[in-house]
Each structure stands twice: as structure tokens, then as C-alpha cells.
Amino acid sequence: MTLAERLAAALTIDASPPALTGDDTDGGPAPPLTAAAVLVAITERAEPGVLLTQRTETLRRHAGQVAFPGGRLDPGEDAITAALREAEEEIALPRAAVTVIGTSDVYRTGTGFAVTPVIATVTPDLPLVPSEAEVAAVFEVPLAFLLDAANHRPATAMYQGRTRRYVEMMWNDRRIWGATAGMIVNLSRRLRWPA
């Protein structure tokens, strides 16, 4: 059985609510939402990993943060098309090297995005090239580490005068938090791994 087949069999999207919705604040109105998508690219290895990016420090929003490749949907795009396009633009991930499995829970960010994670497998050790304007580095984190609830640490911070609750994970010297960590927590609830 291929990794894509194992992941497809292990991924369950049912009627239960996601673990995190991204709008976990102490109150206040929700912002209007813009559709976006990210690619959760899982490497086809004996011990699968997940590709993540470190955003450049010069970006206007979310500078220096760890993220999945992705962004807003262009007119006429669906989540899968947008996630593949963004991954190609941000890290030169060729679409032909990606096997899409499906999508996971939409995550609403406090900054006004409704983000659809697109789950896929990718060929390992591709010569990925970060887009100089957006991505400082591309790195891989073991899937088992990301899905392990023992690595999901709850935290709080003040943002725009409100208390926001989020999850963070430390992988080596990189802090994975906010929307990226929230989508990982949701995936950990939906993905029975190892399959």
C-alpha cells in the first residue's frame, strides 16, 4: 500500500467539530473571511515528514513565521488548485510530484482568512527553491512529531486588545504556532496515524 493510500484510509472527516477553529478569542465580532488554501505536503518516506516554510522577515504580514505553502484563492480557483499553485510559486514544488489525498477542516484565522488545508503526498528530496520574496527556508518535520498531542503546547497572547488562545510546537529552533499549529492540531484529530 502506498503512503497516499495509507493516508487516505487514515483520514476521517466526519460531522464532529474540529479541535480548533481559529476564532478562539475572548469575544468580539468575527472579521469577514477571505478564502485561502495551504498544502500539507507529506513526504513519501519510511518515516514521513511534512514540508514547512519559514517566511522572510521582510513580509508585511506574518514575517518570520513558520507556515505551510499557500495563500488566497484567485478568482475561479478551488482550494486544491490554489494550494498547488502557491506551493509551486513559493517553493518551486512541481505539481506533477504531488498526489492530492483530500482536504481537512477549514481554519478561520483571526486575520480574516478561511483556510482549507489540502493534504497530499510528495516525492522526497526534491530540489525545492524558496521564493526569495516570500520564503527564507524550506524544512521538513516528522509527521509523527507534529501529530503527537504531547508536542502541542497551549499558549495565550494579547492581539488587538483581546486575549487569543493558540497552540505552539517547538521543532529544533523553530516555533510552529498560530494558524499553522491549529491546522496541525485539527489534522491530528482527523488522521489516525500510523495507519
Q: What is the pLDDT of residues 116-165, one digit of tens each?
A: 999 999 999 999 999 988 898 999 999 999 999 999 998 887 777 777 78
Identify the three-state secondary structure at position 86.
helix
Which pLDDT does position 25 carry in this prediction?
Answer: 47
Which pLDDT does position 155 carry in this prediction?
Answer: 86
Preceding peptide of 154 cis, ω within 30°? no
Query: Tens place of pLDDT for every residue, the chain, 195 residues?
Result: 889 998 888 887 666 666 666 655 445 555 678 999 999 999 999 999 999 999 876 656 655 689 999 999 999 999 999 999 999 999 999 999 999 999 998 998 877 889 999 999 999 999 999 998 889 899 999 999 999 999 999 888 777 777 778 889 999 999 998 899 999 999 998 888 776
pTM of the model: 0.88
| CA 174 – CA 183 distance, rounded (Å) | 17
The answer to whether the CB of 11 falls within 8 A of the CB of 119 is: yes
Residue 43 vs residues 14, 40, 59, 108, 126: alpha-carbon distances, Å:
25, 10, 27, 26, 10
Domains and CATH numbers, the chain: 3-190 (3.90.79.10)
| CA 61 – CA 113 distance, rounded (Å) | 13
